[in-house]
Structure 1
Amino acid sequence: MWGSFTAWCLGQSPAVSLASLDVRDLQAFQAARFGMKSADLSLSPRHALRLLRLIDRVLHHHAAETGQPANTAASDWIEAHPEIRYAEAAQADPLPEFLSVAEARHLITFLSDARPRPSLSGSRRDSHLAFTWQQLRNRVAVALQLGGGLAPGDVRVLTVDAPTSRGGRVRERPWKVAVPGNGNSPARETPIAPWAGELLQHWLQVRAEARILGNFLFPSTRSGKPWSKEAQYKAARQVLEEAGLDSSDGGSFRLRHTFALRQLRRGTDSDQVARWLGVEPEAMGKYRRVVSTPEDVI
């Protein structure tokens, strides 16, 4: 968030500095992103509040370093916009959308058609042979969102050495993945469901046999180019549509929410789930409003 804000400031004429920043600049920055999709750096009320709080902290730090009065532009802007100021209030924080148990079961079965299943008979046993490497990539990426709680951005930055098979219950089957850190969360490891591990194991084999280059686990091309936000978004949406599930905007985030809720319903400590998701423990409140007691889930 800070990177996009500073890039905007430096792109103005004249450039906006910490000293010159005022409420009008903040309003212009917000307006420049109004109505844009999240993939294009749109600022939702909650993200706007977080960014403005960050800017306010930077301004106060700058004042302490220089001995000058603090620039209050950020706090003034927050105060003047109640829809932003109360964005994190419980009543303004919508409950996460997630898959029902039946929907999750259906999607897991659908995704698993892309891997070998020798226990089945006839055409179903060999159905995986009809998939192109891109189709398999798309399904495995969706599987890691549902089976590992990864966000779309996490999926795109995974490297080929992210999966860990050693120490798992089944030889050569990945059971966790390492997600690199970014400006919003530290590097972390998160477990993946066995069925997702089976799909990932098959993908690693197909990826090697196809001689796909580069270090990205899910590249865009055989030459190893990174998967763009738009292309990955469209791919996830198509997988959900083919599975007969709603694929409206933000639909794939329901997979991540489903993972979080499944872990909480199994009795996993919420702080541990937060670490797996790469979020602050406070962010788990929206899930706790859905889950009151542990229960058996898929």
Structure 2
Amino acid sequence: MACATLAFPASAQTLAPYKDDLFAYPAILSSEGDTYRVVDYQEMRDINARDQVPERRVQGKYVSTGVRKVQQDLVLKLDVGDIRHFAVGKAEGASVIVLYLHGQGGSRKQGVDDFTFGGNFNRIKNLMAANGGLYLSPDFSDFGDKGVAEVAALIDHYAAQSPGAKIVVACGSMGGALCWGLARDARAAKRLSGLMLLGSLWDDGFLKSPAFKAGVPVFFGQGSKDPVFPVDKQQAFFRSILAKNKGYPARFVRFETGTHGTPIRMTDWRDTLNWMLQAK
């Protein structure tokens, strides 16, 4: 199993390994340095052979459920309203904070489901818990201005509890509208150390946003057969970022033959977060 490895300066913040052998990318079919990679994806191997019950329950070796001991289902009462969310790890003094924002029809529960999506949510939970970090999976009202305001307020609250933490927001599918909304919000953009778009949409307005001007790293994971957000359009948007600034910290991973949910299942959290923590 091939996996691109990155070398970081000794001073860079990095996450310690967690089941890397199981979650590393399969063979890299082609690449443009570390900026663009085409990853081999096979449904029979990466779903059917990985899951005990396809798409419903991954094999036990992929998960460690002891992390539930540091998982809480909370309600935060803020000026923008009550925000229900799961929090996993250190609520205060966290080294890094990662948020997952679900797509249409989802809820805060999706981001903490240990067994779906190949156990990948269990992995990010364990990565945060083991590295002194905090993982958040919230509900929000919509994918527009109100939802952006709610997520921004949630970030403000936890950033105040962990003033030294780097903050990365991962957005699945339609949740990407919130990622781009945060990028346009000057206050929120200052707090961001990375945005992850997982099977998600594009936003040409990002090129004029405070987050772009601040050089916030952006990761794109996209299935080549995504029927909702076509890979060609997302790749074109990715290329437009580099055309605007050829040194911009942006990465694209294309999962060949993957569909809409493939990036949520297959994206290597540790590889991506370590790059972002080093870059920003």
Structure-1-length-normalised TM-score: 0.26
Greater relative contact order structure (CA < 8 Å, 6+ sep): 2
More strand by share: 2
Structure whose CA Rg is larger: 1
TM-score normalized by the length of structure 2? 0.27
